[in-house]
Structures are given as structure tokens and as C-alpha cells.
Amino acid sequence: MKDTEFSASPLRQLLIFRLFLISLLLGVLILIEGIWPQKPDPIPIPLYSFIALSYLLTIFHAVSLKRKQPPEPLIQQQLLLDATLIAGLIYLTGGFYSLFFPFFYFIILGGTLYLKSQQTVTLLFYCTFLYLLIIFTHIHNPLQELLPLPPLFSSNRKIVSQLFFNLAPFYLTAFILRVIAKERVSTRKRLQQVTSDLQDFRDLNEHIIASIDSGLITTDQQLNIVSINPAGSTLLGRSAEEIKQLGLAQVIPDLPEPSTGNQRRQRHEINYQSPRGERLVLGFSFTPLRHSRQHQPGWIISFRDLTNLKEIEERLQAARKMTAIGRLAAGIAHEIRNPLAAISGSIEILARDLPPGDDIRQRLLQIVLRESSRLDHLISDFLSFSRLEGKEQHEVKVIKRLRDLVFLFHSQFPEISFHEDYEDEDFTILANPEQLEQIFWNLCKNALEAVGQNGRIQILSRNLRFESQGETDAKATPQITESANHAIQISIIDDGPGISDVSQIFEPFYSTKDQGTGLGLYIVFQLTRINHGEILINNRDDGRSGTCARIRFPGLIKTEPEKSLSLKPRNPADHSAGCKEASAT
């Protein structure tokens, strides 16, 4: 509300009060005329003229309110005019003996309510001056013939006494009203301060609730939703208005109702599917909403997304299980490998001593040797599985290692078409060379087995640029450290049949091959992670069959570390060749 509109309210109140007093006076005069029409002292015509003038002035001031003028001068002018009108009324109704002298109290009351102290004192002295002027005109009445006034007391002592008894309560009332007005102003300021502090507190409370990254719902005792913070709306995938309208039972149907007898915090975990189809694990906590009078008006429900936490827990449990299995596998493998070597050696000797032409025995011995070799490979995989640990890492030119490996495969499988496209031959990473070769060996071997004869394998590399986010670890090596803003991405793409279920390919002992151990890709995944990389495997989505494996390794810099890698490239090279974004990282 504007200041002029706000300050016009006192002016309206004063005009309405003046109109009320004038109308009351007019009504009393009309009533007197009706009851005593033949009274010896008729009501003088000037009194009716005074009432008419008061109406006209009231109408004039009411019209002037539409003008945008400073409010305080208008209030002071109106109170001065009202005091003058009251003085005229006193003069017309008996002068010194008039019964309307207490009307001056309303003027002082209006001054203390709407004016400053100095203006109120001025108004008080002006009313005193008008009253003394009335007494003077009473003594020297210029309108004696038109408006005769009763004679004053013959004793000056009585006049002074009457004057004192009229003015003393007047000034005392003005003083008391002024004290009350000051206290009123002080109380109003304190109330405004308290209101402002309360509003600031409410705003702070709203900002705190809005800034909490967990969901927060308040309900009444019937679990009708009263409020929900923005984070809660985001987690549930609905707007706050929609959540309030649907209700808690419809938005989260699997959430059990809290136990009213249990005053402790109650926790629940549920599987929730948002309207967008996103599946989440949400953890809920019910806390009774306490009132100062020990009354419980409702509940506070806090909840958060536990999906990532549950995934981490599952990975930790799997890691513990795999550690135990690895130890067992290592022990079994060592126990099996020794007698297996003896068996293989013995079979080879028997095969050499067989007489020519004994094809059946020769074939049986070849089967035993082949299966012994396969068993030896299986034992090697188990041993690799049990020895997944970080080894000493060096600067490695990754493309050179990859070229040598591809050349070896191409020499062994000339019928397979290998297409190579490398952007930076000298790109250097920090890794263990043996483990790096093991990663590429397993991936290329899987691609070869997938394409079969006359297949095609693409091996590509591109440099990626990254947004910088924050500082690196202060313990990073200044001479050799992971690059702040670039990485290499190597893609191995085949045109085989693809993978039926890519979500489980990195799980140990899961294999799509009839005679696979299910440890190859698990070993690749762990070795990639140990060497600071990421591996992504998915089926191609360009309409062709096949699989795309992408590996990312951060590059090296030989200066002081500055920034850390962001997960999103600034200008990523689109060299997926039909690869869909992977689901395992």
C-alpha cells in the first residue's frame, strides 16, 4: 500500500467523526424543535448556519482527499479547522457557559493519535487561545442583539476558578494522552520489530527447508499432507500441489502408516517408481511433530534416495564374496595344477610311444590333452581372478601397446578384418603395462570369438576434453599426475551377434559362452578400475548387430596439478560408431 493511501485513513476517520457530531447536533436540535415548538427561547438561526457550514467544509475536505498531498499537513489543517468550528459552536451555545467545551478533548485526542509532539503542543495552545477568545467575546459580545449571551459571574474570582477547572483537566488529559500516545508508538515499533523478526525467521525457516537435499513432508494426525519441500517433490517426481491433492497413500502406496503408540523415530525402506518410470529405493523416517503444549498435531516425514547407497552395499558384499571365492579358487587351483601337469606330461609321453596306426588311442589321448589344456586355462583365469591387485604403474604409450597386440591377433587370424583409426599415437597414460595388455587382450579375444570367420573388428581412439572442476588432491605427484583436462577413449567394436543381457556382463561367473568361466570381463573391469579407467560395454544401436566396448583413461601431465576431471566432456567426439551409452562403469 502506498504512503498516501495509507495516511488518508486518519483523514477519513476525522471527517467521519466530524460528520457524526454535526449530524448528532442537528438531530438533537430537530428533536428539541419537535418536542417544544412554542419554547420562549427559539434556537438561533446562526446555529443552523453553523451546521450547514460544517457540512459544506466536510464535503470539501472529502473531495480534497483525492488529491495526492502530504498527509500530515492536511491532518493538522483539519484539526485546526475542527477546533475553530468547536469554538464557534461554543460561542453560539452560551459562550463561557456552553456545555460543548469537552469537544476540545476530541481535538487533543486526534492530535496525539495522528500528529507529532510539537504539532500536538501547537494544537493545544491554539485550543486554549480559542477558549480565551470565547471568554473575551463573551465579555464584549459584538452580536449581543442577534445572539444574546447570559452575563458572566459578577466576581472575577468565580470566573478565574471556572476557567481553571475547565483548562486544568484539559491540559491534564492532553498530558495523559500524550504519554499514552508515546507508549503506543513505542509499542507499535516493538511490534513491527517483532513482526519483522518473525517474518525473517519464517523466511529463514523456509529457505532452510527449501535448501535441504532430502525430502521433507509435514502432515496432520490423519496423514493429510500440509507441506513438502522442493527436494521432496523432485524425488517423488510430482509437483507439490499434485502431491497435496493426491495424498500420501496414493503417492506412496507402499509406505506403512506410523504407529501412534511409538513415540520414537520409525524408519522404513520401500521401492518407489516415479511417474517418469524411474525406480528408486527411498528411506523414510517418521518423527512425531511436537507442540509446546505437549500436543502432537501431526508427523514429520523425512526421506532420501538410497538407490546409490544400496548399490554400493551390494558391490561391497559382492567384493567380500569374491575375495573369499578368490582365496578358495587360488588354493584349489594350486592343488589342481600340480597333478594336472603330471597328467599332461604323462599323456604326452604315452602319445609319443603309441605305435603307428592306433588311431583310436591317438584320438583319445588328443582329447585328454585338449581338455587338460582347457582346464589349465581355467585354472589360469582363477589365479588371475584371485590376484586382482594394484601393481607398479609407469608411463605407457597406450596406442603403441594396442598396435602391437592388434598386429599379433591379425597375424594369427588373417581372415579377420581389423580396422584401426588412432587420433594420437603418442598419448601417454599412467598404468601397469602388463595389466593394460591383459585388458586389451581379453577384449580383443572376446571380439574375435564373437565375429567368427570373415568378421570385422574396429579399433578406434579419440582424445576427449573435459570441464575442470575444483582442485586435485594435494598429495598428487607434481612430476607425473593424471591430466586435468584430457583423456583418451578407445573403442573396440565388432559385428558379432551382440550380448543378450549387458546388465550382468561384469558380474563374476556370468558368461554367454557355453564353456566360458565368466571371469574374463570381470577381470577386465577390475583391472581397468585399478588403473584409473572406466569401461563401458553395450550393444550397438545403429541398426547393426555387434558389441561396442569403450575404455577411458585419463592422460598425464608433467607439471603441477591444477584441476580435476569432470565426468562430462566439453566437446566429446562422437565416435561411438553405433555404441549406446553403457550401463556399467
For 1-14, the pLDDT digits (tens) are 444 444 557 777 77
Same domain flag for 438 and 370: no
pLDDT at 486 over 60: yes
> What is residue 307's predicted lDDT score, i.e. its pLDDT?
86
Q: Greater confidence, 52 or 557?
A: 52
pLDDT at 301 over 80: yes
> What is residue 366's predicted lDDT score, i.e. its pLDDT?
77
Same domain flag for 415 and 294: no
Q: Greater confidence, 127 or 501?
A: 127
372-386 pLDDT, tens digit each? 777 777 677 666 655
pLDDT at 449 over 80: yes
Q: Are 385 and 329 in contact (CB under 8 A)?
A: yes
Q: Domain holding 298: CATH number?
A: 3.30.450.20
Same domain flag for 421 and 544: yes
Using a 10 angstrom Cβ sphere, with 0-12 exposed, 13-18 middle and 19 or more buried, the burial of residue 579 is: buried
> What is residue 473's predicted lDDT score, i.e. its pLDDT?
38
**Residue 404 resides in a domain:** yes
Of 553, 508, 527, 522, residue with least CA distance to 388: 527
Mean pLDDT of 355-370: 75
Range of weakest confidence among 53-67, 193-207, 226-240: 53-67
Same domain flag for 376 and 406: no
pLDDT at 582 over 50: no
pLDDT at 200 over 50: yes
pLDDT at 335 over 60: yes
pLDDT at 493 over 70: yes
**Residue 127 resides in a domain:** yes
- This prediction has a pTM of 0.44
pLDDT at 96 over 80: no
**Residue 205 resides in a domain:** no
Q: Greater confidence, 370 or 299?
A: 299
**Residue 201 resides in a domain:** no
> What is residue 266's predicted lDDT score, i.e. its pLDDT?
78
pLDDT class of 34 with cuts at 50, 70, 90: low
pLDDT class of 102 with cuts at 50, 70, 90: confident
> What is residue 299's predicted lDDT score, i.e. its pLDDT?
85
pLDDT at 415 over 80: yes
**How many other C-beta atoms lie within 10 A of the C-beta of residue 52?**
12
> What is residue 341's predicted lDDT score, i.e. its pLDDT?
76
Place of cell 509446546: 292
Mean pLDDT of 423-439: 86
Give residue 524's domain range.
394-569
Same domain flag for 317 and 405: no
Which of the given ranges, 39-43, 338-342, 410-414, has the highest pLDDT on average? Answer: 410-414
> What is residue 174's predicted lDDT score, i.e. its pLDDT?
79
Give the domain-ending residue among 386, 418, 438: 386
**Residue 197 resides in a domain:** no
Q: Are 382 and 519 in contact (CB under 8 A)?
A: yes
Angle at 291 between CA 285 and CA 292, to 5 degrees: 140
CA 353 to chain CA centroid, Å, is 82
Q: Percent of the chain scored above 70 by pLDDT?
A: 75
Mean pLDDT of 31-37: 64
Q: Looking at beta carbons, which pairs linking 403-411 to residues 24 or more positions away fall under 8 Å?
A: 405/437, 405/440, 405/441, 405/444, 406/444, 406/459, 409/444, 409/448
Within 13 Å of residue 205, how many CA atoms lie on the same side as its CB? 7
> What is residue 511's predicted lDDT score, i.e. its pLDDT?
67
Same domain flag for 353 and 328: yes
Range of weakest confidence among 56-70, 114-128, 298-312: 56-70
C-alpha cell at 391: 601393481
> What is residue 460's predicted lDDT score, i.e. its pLDDT?
92
pLDDT at 417 over 70: yes
pLDDT at 567 over 70: no
Same domain flag for 546 and 423: yes
Same domain flag for 452 and 564: yes
The number of folded domains in the chain is 4
pLDDT at 402 over 50: yes
pLDDT at 562 over 60: no
pLDDT class of 490 with cuts at 50, 70, 90: very high
Mean pLDDT of 169-195: 83
Give the domain-ending residue among 288, 305, 322: 305
pLDDT at 581 over 60: no
**Residue 203 resides in a domain:** no
497-535 pLDDT, tens digit each? 888 777 767 776 666 665 566 677 878 888 888 888 888
Q: Domain holding 439: CATH number?
A: 3.30.565.10
Q: Are 128 and 134 in contact (CB under 8 A)?
A: no
d(CA 100, CA 87): 9
Same domain flag for 426 and 534: yes
> What is residue 475's predicted lDDT score, i.e. its pLDDT?
36
**Residue 151 resides in a domain:** yes
Q: Are 114 and 10 in contact (CB under 8 A)?
A: yes
Q: Are 207 and 142 in contact (CB under 8 A)?
A: no
Same domain flag for 454 and 468: yes
Distances (CA, A) of 263 to 131, 260, 296, 299, 331: 74, 7, 10, 11, 53
pLDDT at 317 over 60: yes
Same domain flag for 261 and 370: no
Q: Domain holding 371: CATH number?
A: 1.10.287
pLDDT class of 37 with cuts at 50, 70, 90: low
List of residues 6+ apart from 457 with CB closer than 8 A: 416, 417, 418, 419, 444, 447, 448, 451, 492, 493, 494, 495
| Residues counted in the chain | 585
> What is residue 43's predicted lDDT score, i.e. its pLDDT?
52
Give the domain-ending residue among 254, 284, 305: 305
List of residues 6+ apart from 168 with CB closer than 8 A: none
Determine the residue type at 48: Y
Mean pLDDT of 292-303: 76
d(CA 457, CA 420): 9
> What is residue 311's predicted lDDT score, i.e. its pLDDT?
82
Mean per-residue pLDDT of the chain: 75
**Residue 193 resides in a domain:** no
Helix (H, G, I), strand (E, B) or coil at 464: strand
pLDDT at 568 over 60: no
DSSP lists the bridge partners of residue 479 as none
pLDDT class of 566 with cuts at 50, 70, 90: very low
pLDDT at 418 over 50: yes
Mean pLDDT of 222-227: 86
- Per-position DSSP letters for 46-107, written without gaps between them: HHHHHHHHHHHHHHHHHHHTTS---HHHHHHHHHHHHHHHHHHHHHHTTGGG-TTTTHHHHH
pLDDT class of 396 with cuts at 50, 70, 90: confident
> What is residue 551's predicted lDDT score, i.e. its pLDDT?
92
Same domain flag for 423 and 557: yes
